[in-house]
Amino acid sequence: MRKTPASLLIAAALAAGTVVGCGESRLAGSLLYMAPYKVDQLDCAELKKRQASARTRLQEVEQLRDKANTSAAGPVINSTVYGPDYSRARWDYQLYEEKIASKNCDAPPPPPPGPLSLDPRN
């Protein structure tokens, strides 16, 4: 049996460690799930609509994952079948949540202007 050089084993371990952490990182998400639409140009109503849709998709995938967990092969099914969908749904939801916060869409509307007065004393 032939032995593998230690440097090759160390390189493989480092590569595996790097890949394992990529699933939920911001950089990996932005590279893997680049949105084809321009989120910055969407108004608050459209952002909220898309966030609600992303929330619904996230809940659907979570239900599928919970259902798969009841079987013996649940962890394998979750990671191979539902893992990418779950990561994408979470990424989309977080993206819309951040854009809504950055555009201050949840702020109360400004108060209406007071009545105009023609009296010069006011």
With a cut of 80, say whether residue 29 has pLDDT above it: no
* Model pLDDT for residues 61-119, shown as the tens digit of each residue: 999 999 988 888 888 888 888 888 999 899 889 988 988 998 888 777 667 766 665 66
Let me know if residue 69 belongs to a domain.
yes
Residue 115 lies in a domain: no
Domain residue limits at 82: 42-104
Q: Does residue 64 belong to any structural domain of this protein?
A: yes
Residue 8 lies in a domain: no
Q: What is the pLDDT of residues 49-75, one digit of tens each?
A: 999 999 999 999 999 999 988 888 888
Task: Tell me the average pLDDT across 25-39.
Answer: 57
- Surface-to-core class of residue 1, CB atoms within 10 Å of its CB (0-12 exposed, 13-18 middle, 19+ buried): exposed
CA–CA gap between residue 51 and residue 38 (Å, rounded): 14
Q: Is pTM, for the whole model, over 0.85?
A: no
Reply yes or no on whether the pLDDT at 16 is more than 50.
no
pLDDT at 77: 85
Q: How many domains does the chain have?
A: 1
Q: For residue 99, is it within any domain?
A: yes
- Closest by CA to 89, choosing from 45, 49, 56, 42, is 56
